[in-house]
Structure 1
């Protein structure tokens, strides 16, 4: 049974029960008040009749007339005939014996029994005051009209129940369906999210608790959608990394296996041995470089940095010394220019950052061109920049430049032993410094990569 079904049945039953109980109590109270009113009226009329008969008997006795049964019957009959027109029956008894009305034999007894058993007759009996205490006057009044009125009210109440019940059912159905509409929307949206559509939202403009619930639900759905998108992106990046790593390892390992088998053969000249050994050595160095780069990436993900003031001149000299031989071998020039004394960071990681950028610039540059290593202030931050005037990058290449194993020029990068991890490592070094990286590149004109670091005078003292 659905929730709105339960609410409908519960409210309908409770309302009808409360209505019935209230009406029954009102009718019962009304009946009681009517009966009390009739009883007071009957008592008042009986007292009035009794006093009148009493005064009449006193008057008769004062004239010296004896009060025999015949006279008593005559007096009672005169009053009885008068009040019968008003729906009142009188009975006069002497010492318990019925004097009036006079009835014949069994017929009189049957009438008395019927009168006693008639439930719509209100009967009051009281003795006369002294000296007529042996006489008793019974007052009987027909109240069948009051019972008929009560039965009419009962029938009207039943009719109201038959009318109000279905009408209330229809109104409650419309009202509860409207009130529980937000729950239906939440249920449908939850179902679509459970089926994988995380973009669905609850469209509910309301200021009540349901509106607040819908607002919080939409916030939760947005967070879930973002997390799922992030997880999907991470899974895609991880899968691409695994695929690229497998691709990187397959080619050199296969070649190394072939040259190793060549070295173990009996018929091979010294020149071939040297050639095979050199290839195995170069591929071993490339795999070592790949392993070290992957290790650096792993360390940066899990190890916090202890930042300190880094001298820019020393940092530039370290990076230049590491790459000077490769720059010379490729016929390039390295230009250093610094207008700030220091930045805030980790010296070893920043050196690795610059070395990786210089290596990429070497691969992209033509002999005779210049690679520039710059440091300068900008908007309260220290900027380290590596510029080259090489081949540059397209929009697609710029978008994917920081992905692990991505190469703008795969064939050339592989020939120089590059695994495509340099810029990915640079991005993680920047993230570890809580710094941002900018890449600008124009095809055929060169590439510029900057990292924005805090200056020592803007940083808290090291503890």
Structure 2
């Protein structure tokens, strides 16, 4: 055989091997990545449902009614399905006796479900099943509500993922046949250029496989390799976008969980303090009713707080309903709770308020004041005093919290509004803080079109001012 024939045959073999290997690798990696993404998304949605259920468990414990439990779970399921009505998602909720609480599937769920065997509480398992020529992803977990176990199964139709792989194989099969035919015709003229193009495609695939999803194939030819490169780039762009969206969603959810956990502390402190007071104090009907009223109001605030913090973090400020409130009345509602917090640290509390009505979201203003006072308490030593006041300064209304505590160093003052930033990590951790208080306060101030200013010197105390300016139609002072 002549040398050019050897080159001809060898070139064809190399081209077929590299082209098909690259095609298979791209398709399989794309399929596995898309399937993994669907699985991660399903697990994340399942966790979201579980978090929603965990949030209402305290309420269900209060009522302790099976019918009420099922009604609440059905409502949560309907809300979740309604939010995802554009996708092929299904939800099944069953009690301990395998009775259906909620189900929106359009197919028969198998009776034997091995993924539920040895499934622990707060553990999520998943499995893929072929049902009626469809591929369904099942994710299941168990939640304990009032000593009863409920099985939550979130399902999503992933048939399109497998069908997409079949379509890609069919597409690449056609491209493969055409490319081989053309290559045999013009191999003598373009073999070196074609080899270099394949090499670049393979190198880009390796870079992307290592995690650099921004890498793209730089081939401008219009032949089959150019088409493959364009399809490969389109696929890489879609994968990069999906990963970015998934990471952003995960960050938002984690930020919500952290903020919500931080805000649970203040009302829980009041509830525990008043409950302990009732437990250790001789019965007095008037005092007991006052204490029960505080415990009830703080419990209701916990319920409302979860929704309001969700809006604060995930929604636009236009979604908050501003109403006219007297700040003095808000101070009066908060004073018992703040006094308990101050007395536990043996810190004095002075409250002063000049008359003013504000267009505000009441619960968010309570969160703002509670956070500022809580920060002041953390910075204060016993026998020191905290002043909470509201006053006019020109045409601006100022909400002010002043303490005599350790102060904030100059190098930290421009960073304290960053989430999770802690100027004194040891002090913050010892008081169960997470560095979120001022970040949340700044967000609440932004909702009300207000500004926060801090004046502080080390060992001389800190003054925090929230400045409300007239003229904003969605917040500020009602003139």
TM over 0.5: no
Using structure 1 for the length normalisation, give the TM-score: 0.39
Query: Which of the pair is proportionally richer in helix?
Result: 1
> Which structure has the larger Rg over C-alpha atoms?
1
